[in-house]
Amino acid sequence: MSNRALEVVEFLLTAHLYSDNRSLDENDLPPRYRRVFWTEPSDDDETDDGEPNVVGIERPLVVTDSVARKATGVEHPWEAISDLLFTQREEFSGRISLTQPEMAIEWFLDRADRERLETNPTIAAAVEDRDGVDVTHAEAREQTRPIQADRVWIDSLLEEYFDEEEDAEMLDLVQVRAPEEIEMTLEDLVLTGDQEGEIHKLMQAIEHREYLAEIGLREIGKILFVGPPGTGKTTVSRALAHELGLPFVEVKLSMITSQYLGETAKNVEKTFEVAKRLSPCILFIDEFDSVAKTRRSDEHAALKRAVNTLLKSIDDISLIRDEVILIGATNHPDQLDAAAWRRFDEIVNFPKPDGQMRADILRIITRRMDIEDFDPDAVAERTEGLTGSDLRMVLREAVLEALTEDRMTLTQEDIVDAVEDFEERDNLKNMDMMSDGEQLVAGDGDGSHDHAHDHSHDH
Ligand SMILES: Nc1ncnc2c1ncn2[C@@H]1O[C@H](COP(=O)(O)OP(=O)(O)OP(=O)(O)O)[C@@H](O)[C@H]1O
Ligand SMILES: [Mg+2]
């Protein structure tokens, strides 16, 4: 019997059992099935009292050829199961269903391995008491990703919340990622002992948040990541969302202020509102310094208001009450307001990696590359001062260089050359920055008037 038949029968069986058993909810369906049964919100979704209709997964779950194809990836689902005794297709509607569910269960249990049962809570619930079945419903639920991690779920919440045009603009400022979409995980990152400890502590705190609330400890879940560009602040935050199965709400404070300064306070408020709406989630505020700068007396009133709103919003949000984890990130801790600084209960340092870390990062980056005589320790030794992001760039250059010679196998020499190129480029960049402070552009009399239009010091 082909695996295709097993796929389709599992799907039919799941649809049947889920439709019948009202005590099951969305989290009992494997994520790949949820997606196809999700009903999208539409414009006439409002009921008389103005409340939006429930969108989600409605019973009964009706299976047709195209639905089954989407859910299972099997090209011709009905063909795969048409010779089984317990299946039928209605000519007119095209609906596929089970004529004898009990027979289908027996057939399925004879063929499905433990892993298949473990990832299908709906079927596990129906068969957990039978002889020879050693998977419980609770175990299967534990193994299955919660619906909060699904893109469809996040989109439906966002759509429900942002119906006005003005609000939709807000979504240009805030980026929301589903944990299923995050590619780099904690395993792909090289962390310092301190970073590992803090991440572990946070995960423990989240798990035991009810206990913490009981004993009156509420100051948790607000963390500030501090470190130079390219040291993994953003990537670690996203990886955390992936690890915890939480939506990731990302906002760059500079974007919020750059649009209209007068709107900044409102935009800050909205950002926190989005996070509360999507909770449980992680709210990641990048470039934290760009609003929370040390307050100067000559500062614009709108900016002052924005800072106050930001501080107040941080005060008002809580892991215990709102289930929002707040992570701030900054390259300029020196520019942070003391009042902002105080509001984080943990500060995590992201230093440039040391030699050992650089070697480990190189090993991870090159995991799937083919490199002759590769010596990551030697490369690490001569890349003092480079960040994880720099090392990635070095490897990318080495790969692209080799491709120009039609090679997909690299050599240690390619990498060393790429390091040299990178350092050269880095030198150029630094030279550029130094000359920026000069009144005249060296050796070039006519280009210098550009500086009259330089507004960069305004920011
Ligand atoms: N410790 C690390 N381990 C593995 N890879 C790393 C590490 N640090 C950085 N990288 C690589 O560098 C890339 C860029 O890192 P990331 O964007 O997270 O840095 P950042 O600290 O957020 O920088 P910025 O301050 O500019 O926003 C990551 O996608 C990752 O591939
Ligand atoms: Mg970043």
Q: 87 and 98 in contact (C-beta within 8 Å)? A: yes
Instruction: State the pLDDT confidence band at 47, using cuts at 50, 70 and 90.
Output: very low
Q: What sections of 144-263 are H helices per DSSP?
A: 151-161, 165-173, 193-207, 209-214, 233-244, 253-258
Query: Do residue 241 and residue 126 come from a single domain?
Result: no
Query: Do residue 320 and residue 370 come from a single domain?
Result: no
User: What pLDDT, in 10s, does the model give residues 149-190?
Assistant: 888 888 888 877 776 666 666 667 788 999 989 999 999 999
Instruction: Give the side-chain half-sphere CA count within 13 A for 181.
Output: 12
Is 291 strand, coil or helix? coil
Q: How far is the CA of 389 from the centre of ligand 1 (A)?
A: 5
For ligand 1, atom 30, name the residue with the nearest CA.
389
Among 287, 320, 349, where does a domain finish? Answer: 349
Which residue is associated with the tokens 């130094």? Answer: 434
Mutate to test the pocket of ligand 1, among 196, 234, 235 (most ligand atoms within 8 A of CB): 235
Residues with CB under 5 A from ligand 2 (ion): 234
For ligand 1, atom 4, name the residue with the nearest CA.
189
456 pLDDT above the threshold of 80: no
Q: What are phi and psi of 336, to 5 degrees?
A: -80, 135
**Position in ligand 1 atom list of the atom nearest CA 389:** 12
Contacts of 432 (CB under 8 A, 6+ apart): none
Query: Do residue 19 and residue 57 come from a single domain?
Result: yes
Q: How far is the CA of 348 from the centre of ligand 2 (A)?
A: 14
Q: 188 and 239 in contact (C-beta within 8 Å)? A: yes
Mean pLDDT for 377-405 is 96
Beta-bridge partners for 174:
251
Query: Do residue 33 and residue 168 come from a single domain?
Result: no
Query: Do residue 113 and residue 208 come from a single domain?
Result: no
Q: How far is the CA of 162 from the centre of ligand 2 (A)?
A: 26
Q: 371 and 411 in contact (C-beta within 8 Å)? A: yes
CA-based nearest residue to 182, from 238, 112, 245: 238
User: What domain count does the chain have?
Assistant: 3
Question: Is the torsion defined by CA of 6, 8, 12, 14 positive or negative?
Answer: positive
Contacts of 58 (CB under 8 A, 6+ apart): 37, 39
Query: Do residue 207 and residue 320 come from a single domain?
Result: yes
Question: What pLDDT, on a 0 to 100 scale, did the predictor assign at position 446?
Answer: 46
User: What pLDDT, in 10s, does the model give residues 182-218?
Assistant: 999 999 999 999 999 999 999 998 888 889 889 988 8
Mean pLDDT for 394-409 is 96
Query: Do residue 294 and residue 418 come from a single domain?
Result: no
Instruction: State the pLDDT confidence band at 68, using cuts at 50, 70 and 90.
Output: very high
Query: Do residue 204 and residue 167 come from a single domain?
Result: yes
Query: Do residue 163 and residue 125 come from a single domain?
Result: no
Instruction: State the pLDDT confidence band at 270, using cuts at 50, 70 and 90.
Output: confident
For ligand 1, atom 6, name the residue with the nearest CA.
388
Question: What pLDDT, on a 0 to 100 scale, did the predictor assign at position 447?
Answer: 41
Q: How far is CA 160 from the centre of its chain?
A: 21
Percent of the chain with pLDDT over 70: 85
38 pLDDT above the threshold of 90: no
Query: Do residue 28 and residue 61 come from a single domain?
Result: yes
Q: What is the CATH number of the domain that holds 205?
A: 3.40.50.300
Query: Do residue 218 and residue 246 come from a single domain?
Result: yes
Q: 121 and 147 in contact (C-beta within 8 Å)? A: no
Range(s) of the domain holding residue 375: 355-457
Mean pLDDT for 404-425 is 95
User: What pLDDT, in 10s, does the model give residues 273-306?
Assistant: 889 888 889 999 999 888 766 555 556 777 778 8
Question: What pLDDT, on a 0 to 100 scale, did the predictor assign at position 400?
Answer: 96
Question: What pLDDT, on a 0 to 100 scale, did the predictor assign at position 154?
Answer: 85
Name all residues whose Cβ lies below 6 A of ligand 1.
184, 189-190, 227, 229-235, 331, 350, 353, 361, 364, 387-389, 392
Q: How far is the CA of 186 from the centre of ligand 1 (A)?
A: 12
Instruction: State the pLDDT confidence band at 437, using cuts at 50, 70 and 90.
Output: very low
459 pLDDT above the threshold of 50: no
More confidently predicted of 52 and 237: 237
Q: 223 and 348 in contact (C-beta within 8 Å)? A: yes
Give the chain's count of helices (H) and strands (E).
Answer: 22, 10
| Residues written for the chain | 459
Mean pLDDT for 104-118 is 95
Q: What is the CATH number of the domain that holds 431?
A: 1.10.8.60
Among 349, 365, 389, where does a domain finish? Answer: 349
Query: Do residue 186 and residue 74 come from a single domain?
Result: no
Among 280, 314, 349, where does a domain finish? Answer: 349
